[in-house]
């Protein structure tokens, strides 16, 4: 469907080593336009790996990742960079200014890694308000968070454990 912004199908990422590390295994995740999705899970559960695949910063070793209708695995590095430039806003901290920058050009999807990390509670609350305002405005957001308050404020929460999705609450059908 055309309103699907991000779709991971059986996506996996194994890092070589002895033994290899399966940091993501068989993940199915669809994000539709206008959703605000929190990705939660313990340290090492694969949250950053998922974000890196969704951002096209890393490539899946199994399965498929579609971003804004394009299958990432079929794109050259150059074309993938082009897709990232117009379809994505990525926030690796969170300050309000970083989020504001990510919104420039109205990308199809904003990815945020710990947007309230290292902020005191007043500034964390501001970020939360900003995320919810963006959601109200129809911006599509996927947010990695350790912060239970941020997660609770998101209409949908994807729980990762050992590289797998173990719960997905509030999903849009
Ligand atoms: N480049 C890499 N090489 C080898 N193993 C890696 C690499 N990146 C991540 N891993 C491993 O993959 C697993 C998932 O890591 P990931 O960073 O995605 O988890 P996370 O949920 O984001 O953790 P945290 O909350 O601590 O940031 C971990 O076991 C981690 O050690």
Pocket test for ligand 1, best of 22, 23, 163 (most atoms within 8 A of CB): 23
**CA of residue 132 to ligand 1 center, whole Å:** 28
Pocket test for ligand 1, best of 18, 20, 46, 55 (most atoms within 8 A of CB): 46
10-residue averages of pLDDT along the chain (173 residues)? 88 96 97 96 95 95 96 96 94 86 92 84 85 94 91 94 95 66
Q: What are phi and psi of 35, to 5 degrees?
A: -80, 150
Domain boundaries, the chain: 4-169
**For 142-156, how does the pLDDT look when each residue is reduced to its tens digit (9 = 90+)?**
999 988 888 998 999
Write down the pTM of the prediction: 0.93
At the topology level of CATH, where does 4-169 sit? Rossmann fold (3.40.50)
**For 118-140, how does the pLDDT look when each residue is reduced to its tens digit (9 = 90+)?**
778 888 888 889 999 999 999 99
Protein residue with least CA distance to atom 6, ligand 1: 15
Q: What pLDDT is stored for residue 2 in this prediction?
A: 54
Q: What pLDDT is stored for residue 173 in this prediction?
A: 60
Enter the ipTM. Answer: 0.96
């Amino acid at each position: 469907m055309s309103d699907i912004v991000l779709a991971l199908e059986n996506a996996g990422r194994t890092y070589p080593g002895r033994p290899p590390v399966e940091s993501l295994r068989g993940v199915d995740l669809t994000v539709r336009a206008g959703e605000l999705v929190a990705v939660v899970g313990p340290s090492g559960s694969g949250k950053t790996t998922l974000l890196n695949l969704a951002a096209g910063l890393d490539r899946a070793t199994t399965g498929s990742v579609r971003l804004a209708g394009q299958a990432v695995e079929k794109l050259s590095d150059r074309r993938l960079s082009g897709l990232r430039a117009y379809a994505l806003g990525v926030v690796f901290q969170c300050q309000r200014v970083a989020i504001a920058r990510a919104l420039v050009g109205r990308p199809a999807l904003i990815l945020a890694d710990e947007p309230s990390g290292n902020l005191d509670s007043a500034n964390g609350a501001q970020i939360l308000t900003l995320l919810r305002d963006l959601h109200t405005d129809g911006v599509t957001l996927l947010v990695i968070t350790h912060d239970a308050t941020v997660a609770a404020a998101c209409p949908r929460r994807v729980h990762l454990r050992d590289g797998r999705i173990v719960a997905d609450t509030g999903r849009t059908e």
